[in-house]
Amino acid sequence: MARKHAKWQIGGFAAGAIAWFLCIVSMGLPQWRVWFFQDPMDSKHGMTLVGMWKTCIYHQESNSTFNRMCYKYTYQDDFIPLDIRVAQHLLLIASFLGIIATISVIIALWKLNSGRLRKKATFNPFRLPGILNIIASSFVFLSILYNYLSIIRKDGIAFPPSFHTPSFPDHQKIGTALAMATLSCFLFLVGGIIPLSFTLPPRSRVRYTI
């Protein structure tokens, strides 16, 4: 009976683990904001990918060749806007909460399937990972919202001259990393709701250890 009750929790565990993986991957990708430029002098196109931890700049060398240069951020860089600074910390906290939630679910599943729940236990052993995943989901959502609003408002970034890229694009759009983070946010939420909905099976059908 305990195994039957754990089936949904395995699904919640999978959702939370995938969400954590996507959160980690999206943080390292530069495609949060995609900037496009048009050089009026020689009709060459340029593109800049603005990420959480680095910016990649593409300059068109010929009709089909682009030269790519990436620059990683440091905490000493004062050109990074506040919304990216805040999103960096929110994503780091979300990834930390996600790994703790994943480990907590593994421990709870092991206890449930091995019958190692305490005899007088009445609490939901999946409550902690459920709460952590929901908090992680909210943090990822705020990071997404900050970046989305920056794209909508067409905010620029005062990059240093060494980047050789304008501070404002001709136009910009959502990148694949932001879409990946959106999926991570949804899966974190699913991975939080399922554990919170868990109810202990009837005591008479569960093997307990003292």
Task: Tell me if 46 is assigned to some domain.
Answer: no
Helix axes 176-196, 127-152, angle to 10 degrees: 150
203: left (phi over 0), alpha (psi -120 to 50) or beta: alpha
SS3 assignment, position 35: strand
Report which of 87, 98, 201, 92 is spatially closest to residue 155, judged by C-alpha positions: 87
- Which residues on neighbouring strands pair with residue 67, listed in sequence order? 59
Domain residues for the domain of 152 are 2-29+80-166+176-201
Question: What is the Cα–Cα distance from 160 to 143, expressed in whole angstroms?
Answer: 24
CA dist 202 and 14 (Å) reads 25
Model pLDDT, residue 181: 96
* Residue 56: Cβ-neighbour burial (10 angstroms; 0-12, 13-18, 19+): middle
State the pLDDT at residue 202: 55
Q: Is 106 helix (H, G, I), strand (E, B) or coil?
A: helix
Please give the Cα distance from 182 to 140 (Å, whole number).
8
Q: With a cut of 70, which residues of the chain have pLDDT below it? A: 1-6, 39-45, 61-65, 113-123, 199-210
For residue 18, the model assigns a pLDDT of 95
Q: Which residues pair with 172 in a beta bridge?
A: 35
| Residue 60 belongs to a domain | no
- The predicted structure's pLDDT at residue 162: 85
Look at residue 153 and tell me if it is in a domain: yes
In a domain, 189, yes or no: yes
pTM, two decimal places: 0.83
| Count of other CB atoms within 10 angstroms of residue 131 | 16
Task: Give the pLDDT of residue 39.
Answer: 63
> How many structural domains are present in the chain?
1
pLDDT at position 58 is 85
pLDDT of residue 205: 44
pLDDT digits (tens, 9 = 90+) for 160-193: 888 888 888 888 999 999 999 999 999 999 999 9
Question: Quick check: is 196 in a domain?
Answer: yes
Average pLDDT, the chain: 83
The answer to whether residue 51 is domain-embedded is no
Inside any domain, residue 144: yes
Question: Does residue 113 lie in a domain region?
Answer: yes
Rounded to an integer, what distance in angstroms lies between the CA atom of residue 2 and that of residue 91? 35
